[in-house]
Amino acid sequence: MITIIPEAPENVAAFNATGEVTKEDFESVVIPCVKAKVDEFKELNYLLYLDTDLNKFTMGAWLQDALLGLKNLTKWNRTAIVTDKEGVQNFTDIFSVLMPGEFKSFPKENLYNALYWCKNGDEVEA
């Protein structure tokens, strides 16, 4: 299931992924929110808090996510992936070289910092 993170800054499309994530989650939650943010702000600041294992994403969800990425390719500004999974963090860091915009991974305990970075492009002083 994907839900919107209500505490997110206005210019950030922020989502929490828990349990099984399906194509319908992307169609009913992610895509409408992303479209609204891109329409309003002319760029996409995106945060995904992974509170589930990647094997819980159905194939339809992965395809929907890929289509979302391709459709808004030139609109990506900042993307944060929040997870404690080291493999996902490494993938995000490598993927950032291939995509337009900035991609960054954050550990789960740094959700607030990730939201701040998505909004402003810098991090909270520790």
With a CB cutoff of 8 Å and minimum separation 6, the contacts of 84 are 107, 108
Q: Is 12 exposed, middle or buried (0-12, 13-18, 19+ CB in 10 A)?
A: buried
* Model pLDDT, residue 50: 86
pLDDT at res. 59: 64
Phi, psi of 120 (to 5 degrees): -115, -20
pLDDT digits (tens, 9 = 90+) for 39-73: 999 999 999 998 877 676 676 666 566 556 656 65
Q: What is the pLDDT of residues 23-41, one digit of tens each?
A: 888 889 988 999 899 999 9
- The pTM of this model reads 0.81
| pLDDT greater at residue 64 or residue 19 | 19
Q: How many Cβ atoms from other residues are within 10 Å of residue 31's Cβ?
A: 18
pLDDT (0 to 100) of residue 76: 82
- Across 90-109, b (16+ Cβ under 10 Å) vs e yields eebeeeeeeeebebbbbeee
